[in-house]
Amino acid sequence: MFNQNINLQEQNPDKPWLYKPEWSIGKIKSSNKKLTYLALLFALVWNLISWPITILFVPEILKEKNYALLFVFLFPLIGIGLIIWTVVSFIRLIKYGESVFIMKSIPGVAGGALKGIIVTKVNVKSENGFKVELNCINRHYSGTGKNRSTAERILWQDEYLIKHEVFEDDPTQSAIPVLFKIPFDAKETNEENPRDAIIWKLKISADVPGIDYKAIFEIPVFRTEESRENFEIDSSSLNKYMEKTTGDSLLKSSGIISEKLMNGGVKFIFPTAGKKAIPLFLFSIVWSVVVALLWIIGSPPMMIKIIFTAVLPFLFYGFLDRLLYKSEVTVSNGSISIMNGWIGFRSVHNLSSSDIEEIKLEDTTQSDKVIFSSIILITNSGKKITIARRIDDRLHARHIIEEIKKAGSGE
């Protein structure tokens, strides 16, 4: 394989998208098998190290009553989570096998399009359709050996929902069309420095009873002779496969409430995070216990105590913000009313359509390779008002922006 890659590079010195065999033929297998075996390896190494170390600390904890060492039990708990993750990955691989992305044109073009079709090994039946997502990612490695860590930061992201397959009557497989417009200034695929690489990932997922369907493909994206700054994509070929549904149906899985008003307006209610705040609450409790033990025992350095204690207010603020923050926006008769903030302390903004310069989507934070976005209203005077926060689905956000603009213009 290595020699084959060398030959492809020598034959195509000015076309890096032909350097890999799967890229050169335009048939890219999903990374599911590789990621599953990596998950297995990571889970094994983590558990083989964490469990013996934890067991060695038990006599010390019981004999010396050094309860600050109880935090070591977090590591085998993480190991159990890794085992569960690995088992789910293996079940998914057995159930769905490896999907293939067949590229219509090689490569994906910055200032152009990514075109192709994803073909599965089995027929995937999903009532909610297929979510197709394209990400440009900066993958960064730091450290060496046991201290090596990997971080991925999303630089650009786009997605859409496919409701109908290309071959809907084929019981042996599913075929999902892929069509994305890639910005001209997007970063090209670049793996020359493995410690600081730019990679492009095409992802597809579908809600299915039992283990959901998911597949990931690493694809080539480069600037070519076809690249254009003002490139526009013709999405008509994709429209017949895309979701055609009401706003209520699109938002039903998000928890966001959409209400049509009698006067032709629209109201959106963005509820509190609710159950999504529980993990941060539990983590805050565990952190509080660790902080309390550090102060009770008295042996750790003062600087350690201060640093750990200083983190606590931020953790609890984050939890309370998720638990209490709620926003509502009502648009009708050329006016828009925004009410947001913590329950009991919310502020109200009333504007006319003529006061609004722009309503846009703004990326804010990342978590678990998901970009969380806010819907921002910008007034003619340049003031920014947040309509909604922590939206993790760009399809929902775009639909909401379109509905707000439509209701505001009186269409």
pLDDT in tens, 103-144: 998 889 999 999 999 999 999 988 788 989 999 988 887 666
Q: Which residues contact 56 (CB under 8 A, 6 or more apart)?
A: none
Q: Centre a 10 Å sphere on the Cβ of residue 100 and count the other Cβ atoms it contains.
A: 19
Domain residues for 74? 35-90
Do 132 and 65 share a domain, yes or no? no
Point out the domain boundary residue: 219, 243, 267. Answer: 243
Which of 26, 74, 89, 32 is CA-nearest to residue 287? 74
Are residues 114 and 45 part of one domain?
Answer: no
pLDDT score at 219: 93
Contact of 136 with 180, CB cutoff 8 Å? no
137 and 215 share one domain: yes
Note whether 233 and 290 are same-domain residues: no
CA distance 232 to 183: 10
Q: How far is residue 267's CA from residue 102's CA, in Å, rounded to a whole number? A: 42
133-137, 204-208, 275-279, range with the lowest pLDDT: 275-279
CATH of the domain at 192: 2.60.40.640
Residues 251, 374 share a domain: yes
Looking at the structure, do residues 13 and 124 belong to the same domain, yes or no? Answer: yes
Would you say residue 166 has pLDDT above 50?
Answer: yes
According to the model, what pLDDT value does residue 103 have?
93
Identify whether residues 253 and 388 lie together within a single domain: yes
Residue 60: per-residue pLDDT: 65
- Residues 212, 131, single domain; the answer is yes
As a whole number of angstroms, the distance between CA 314 and CA 320 comes to 10
Last-in-domain residue among 243, 265, 287: 243
Tokens of 55: 């067991």
Nearest to 90 by CA among 134, 35, 149, 150: 35
pLDDT tens digits for range 321-339: 888 988 998 888 788 888 9
Higher-confidence residue of 169 and 93: namely 93
Quickly state the pLDDT bin for 70 (edges 50, 70, 90).
low
DSSP annotation of 126: -
Q: Cβ atoms within 10 A of the Cβ of 153, count? A: 11
Residue 191, judged by CB atoms within 10 A of its CB (0-12, 13-18, 19+), counts as middle
Is residue 147 pLDDT above 60, yes or no?
A: no
Predicted confidence band at 177 (pLDDT cuts at 50, 70, 90)?
very high
Geometric angle at alpha carbon 289, from 287 and 292, rounded to 5°: 110
The answer on 166 and 254 residing in a single domain is: no
- pTM of this structure: 0.68
For 301-328, the pLDDT digits (tens) are: 778 788 888 988 998 888 898 889 889 9
Which among 119, 246, 242, 249 is positioned nearest to 180, based on CA atoms? Answer: 242
The neighbour count for residue 216, using CB atoms within 10 Å, is 18
Q: Which residue in 90, 127, 98 sits closest to 28, CA to CA?
A: 98
Query: Looking at the structure, do residues 249 and 297 belong to the same domain, yes or no?
Result: yes
Last residue of a domain, one of 201, 225, 243: 243
Q: Per the structure, how many domains does the chain have?
A: 3
